[in-house]
Chains A and B, each alone.
Chain A
């Protein structure tokens, strides 16, 4: 039977977060889970993906139907809740061509909640390496994952899909990079402890920000948050004094009055010799900073609506790019399936080569021990090379032809096996 790639799983589109969380795999016990997976008789190779947006089991198997059933059962055992029938309705199954396409699309971030976001490729690599460590990856999945990494790279370099940030926090980081050359030597101040603010901070840190100050009306909150981000907590009464050090100021409080107005900012700017300041107002009331500060030279103010507008613009630009990306994926799927099919003929090729080699060895041995006994070492060596190269030349064309036969029932393959009596072995 032919080996096929099979994927069973669920993602952000087919299942709500509660369901995804219930079947999620823990990284700690990943090796165990992987070993349990490949211990199923129908499964030859396996990799498990488990991110917050998707849980998927990828397998290589020659028995497609049994394998799908086995994997579903495997996932049901994973389900920590009671609603097993409910889980089944969230699962999708891909096999063969559609499975290869699915993985390539995931790697290229075409299947992500935020299309083009770059994290998924790194996660994919992590899960692939985990499976390789556990020894559950073989020829097929090894090749499949490496192809998927290069598809992702190709999509990234040939389309603009990843160039336009669309999440609020990546838009904020992108804007910061348009204002500042290098975020590594910049200081960020966070006022208030909102969730959105944390997301933006996390993104800024990923992009090189190292110096961070956090202030909050409740100092304990600031301290807690500061610990998490390795930042300096600052008392709310004092934060004005530190403003002159901050290049990016994120406001995520819900105040009825402006926290900072034009006068304060003008003064701060004078103290810092007019070095640019980027204010991000993440409050729902858009009330952290007086909108008029945007009119001051070297001050840039964006509130949540502005960030959303930029994000919408960028999303529009992406639509055309996804078409090109899907084309790249299609081309690569084709290429991978060809390779997979050529695997089919590997046993026949090995048998054919083995048979010829066996004949060669036997005949050489016979001749060298009888009528060619007196040959010198050099002559024996020459004879060895001569026979070897003859066999290689004779077999070259038939093997090349075999590799293009994608059906093991092909007449050519059958005939070849019969002529050379290969089946008995």
Chain B
């Protein structure tokens, strides 16, 4: 049941992707509304899919890669929807919809069902720690999207090539400010994710910090984003530089998310084998 729902979700995200690309070209009110309606429908069915899964297994679906992908894309869309409502950034959907589609597609093609949850993970720490960390990353995904848009837009303006692609992009100033807004939300959430993680580690492993590969990677991205925010606030880092480092930060996050545990095996709970 939950797999069928997830497949439907993925199909709707696919349609939404097409609709957003169509919107990028024609920029009509109707294309914008259609795209948003599709994403919203996808989100609702996705929510149902996660709900059914939770009902079946009795624990939040986050410990296998496919589960994590599904949960993460759900959070990302969940963050995008209010952002869209507040900032009217339909173009952003052109990045979020395909990401959500690919993640949900990967989620159900990677296999069905989850293994039994190890006893050690059956604790409230799990949903708390994972939700905070993933929420932070969802904001980083949005920051990543506006940064890519910024670089495209900036390149074309510098080189005097105004094309269909960026005809409907928000202004550089706006993209730059949104990058900041998303970082300023993402960073504290990520920090809380790390704090809850280390508290949990203290309870379970007996120490706050044990240089686990996942802890190290989190520390690296934390320093990256923290440095970026610091640079923005004090040294006037903005525009291209900020966009570039946001993209680097997200590449590290995403790379480790997908590959980290197979390359650097550790005892961190979310071993996505």
Contact partner of B173 (CB less than 8 A), chosen from A179, A273, A274, A310, is: A179
Q: Is B241 an interface residue (CB 8 A)?
A: yes
* Residue contact B171 to A179, C-beta cutoff 8 Å: yes
* Residue contact B238 to A274, C-beta cutoff 8 Å: yes
Q: Which residue of A lies closest to B156 (CB)?
A: A178
The A/B interface has a contact count, at CB < 8 Å, of 48
Contact partner of A275 (CB less than 8 A), chosen from B160, B174, B238, B240, is: B238
Cβ–Cβ < 8 Å partners of A309 in chain B: 160
Q: How far is the CA of A210 from the CA of B67 in the complex (A)?
A: 54
* Residue contact A181 to B177, C-beta cutoff 8 Å: yes
Q: How far is the CA of A302 from the CA of B158 in the complex (A)?
A: 9
Q: Which residue of A lies closest to B238 (CB)?
A: A274
Encode contact with B along A258-301: 1 for CB under 8 Å, 0 otherwise.
00000000000000011110000000000000000010011010
Q: Is A315 an interface residue (CB 8 A)?
A: no
* Residue contact A298 to B162, C-beta cutoff 8 Å: no
Q: How far is the CA of A175 from the CA of B173 in the complex (A)?
A: 12
* Residue contact A181 to B239, C-beta cutoff 8 Å: no
Q: Is A221 an interface residue (CB 8 A)?
A: no
Q: Which residue of B lies closest to A160 (CB)?
A: B27
Encode contact with A along B223-244: 1 for CB under 8 Å, 0 otherwise.
0000000000000111111000
Q: Which residue of B lies closest to A175 (CB)?
A: B157
Q: How far is the CA of A276 from the CA of B242 in the complex (A)?
A: 13
* Residue contact A177 to B171, C-beta cutoff 8 Å: yes
Q: How far is the CA of A276 from the CA of B243 in the complex (A)?
A: 14
Q: Which of B161-181 contact A (CB under 8 A)?
A: 162, 166, 169-174, 177
Cβ–Cβ < 8 Å partners of A179 in chain B: 157, 171-173
* Residue contact B158 to A274, C-beta cutoff 8 Å: no
Q: Is B129 an interface residue (CB 8 A)?
A: no
Q: Is A313 an interface residue (CB 8 A)?
A: yes
* Residue contact B153 to A274, C-beta cutoff 8 Å: no
Cβ–Cβ < 8 Å partners of A302 in chain B: 160
Q: How far is the CA of A222 from the CA of B9 in the complex (A)?
A: 63
Q: How far is the CA of A178 from the CA of B163 in the complex (A)?
A: 12
* Residue contact A178 to B239, C-beta cutoff 8 Å: no
Given known pairs A306-B160, A313-B162, the reply for A181 and B170 (CB within 8 Å) is yes
Cβ–Cβ < 8 Å partners of A180 in chain B: 171-173
* Residue contact B236 to A274, C-beta cutoff 8 Å: yes
Shortest CB-to-CB span from A275 to chain B, Å, is 7
Q: Which of B134-164 contact A (CB under 8 A)?
A: 153, 157-158, 160, 162
Q: Which of A169-216 contact B (CB under 8 A)?
A: 175, 177-182
Q: How far is the CA of A276 from the CA of B240 in the complex (A)?
A: 11
Shortest CB-to-CB span from B244 to chain A, Å, is 10
Q: How far is the CA of A80 from the CA of B162 in the complex (A)?
A: 47
Q: How far is the CA of A177 from the CA of B174 in the complex (A)?
A: 10
Cβ–Cβ < 8 Å partners of B238 in chain A: 273-275, 298
Q: Which of A70-89 contact B (CB under 8 A)?
A: none
Cβ–Cβ < 8 Å partners of A175 in chain B: 157
Cβ–Cβ < 8 Å partners of B239 in chain A: 274, 276, 297-298
Cβ–Cβ < 8 Å partners of B173 in chain A: 179-182, 276
**B residues apposed to A, CB below 8 Å:** 153, 157-158, 160, 162, 166, 169-174, 177, 236-241
**A residues apposed to B, CB below 8 Å:** 175, 177-182, 273-276, 294, 297-298, 300, 302, 306, 309-310, 313
8 pairs across A/B with beta carbons < 8 Å?
Answer: A178-B157, A181-B170, A273-B236, A273-B238, A276-B173, A297-B239, A297-B240, A298-B239
